[in-house]
Amino acid sequence: MTKSALLEEVRRAIRLRGYSLRTEKSYLVWIRRYINFHHQQHPATMGANEVTRFLSWLANERQVAVNTQKTALNALAFLYHQVLSAPLGKLDFQHAKQHRRLPVVLTRAEIGKLLREMKAPYRLIFSRLYGSGLRITECLRLRVQDVDFDHGALTVRNGKGGKDRTTLLSRSLHDSLRHTIEAALDVQRQDNSRGLGPALPDALGRKYPNAFRQPAWMFLFPASGLREHPNTGALCRYHLHDSAPRKALKQAVKRAGVLTKRVSCHTFRHSFATHLLESGRDIRTVQELLGHSDVATTQIYTHVLGQHFAGTVSPLDSIGH
């Protein structure tokens, strides 16, 4: 099997297991990097020793983050176990160093400044990131069926780790969200008149070929154009690409004058968690809303709060001046 044929086999194996398109792209990138690192050798002629060298090189020479190295390991483990049927076994590689960096958190005033500098649909998108603690990809993948106005809830499907969860839906956004849904459904009706519609999960599209006509499956933030589905080749409409809100955020940061902090889409999720804890919400509740598997991941936000979370003050403040 040639290297190009191998990569196509990897692609088929990933899609057979229903992995996300983002995971597919990531795995293929890391497998190509592994092949290039070993001077274009075919992975079938290599094994655990070569994988160990590559992962150690990432840690020692490239000084990648822990999660980056884990992604590379997962990609290569998938390649050898699922495609080449040659499990790697226990690997003794140099692990990337764990650096604990406190997340950047915006104040409520700064959140307000940024939102006021945004226009539709970006104001609603970033309001969702902050109001519901969403990742940017989770927000853009939301469909009409994921909004529950009656219970004030959003359902996040196939989030990080393939998990579903329910999180908060701010009542202050109900009206704007209803307008957004109606606009999205207008786009769907226009597409349906041409026999087209929103992109569907591959298995669902095969089982229910007319599901693209159901309002429940329409994206809240549809893309402006159509594209081919990567699995079926059928023309369909995806959600807005994440490059658009990232660009809008960069412009809003500049206009709002929030220049002393490094602000990204994820900063709004960090701020959501920190402000909930600051308001006295239980850390287990915040963990569930964020979709963290381990409460230890959520605990990083307690360090951001400092004296406000612990209820303590610096001893210097008790000394008279």
- For the annotated catalytic residues, the residue numbers are 135, 160, 266, 269, 292, 301
CA distance 293 to 309: 22
Residue 271 and residue 106 in contact, taking contact as beta carbons nearer than 8 Å:
yes
Task: Tell me, rounded to whole angstroms, the distance of Cα 264 from its chain centroid.
Answer: 13
How buried is 90 (Cβ within 10 angstroms: 0-12 exposed, 13-18 middle, 19+ buried)?
exposed
CA distance 218 to 188: 7
Please choose, from the candidates 3, 37, 137, 34, the residue with its C-alpha nearest in 3D space to the C-alpha of residue 11. Answer: 3
Task: Tell me, rounded to whole angstroms, the distance of Cα 20 from its chain centroid.
Answer: 11
Residue 308 and residue 277 in contact, taking contact as beta carbons nearer than 8 Å:
no
The DSSP output letter for 147 is E
Beta bridge partners of 143: 219
- For the chain, the straight-line distance linking the first and the last C-alpha, in angstroms and rounded, comes to 78
**Residues near 151 by beta carbon (within 8 Å), at least 6 away in sequence:** none
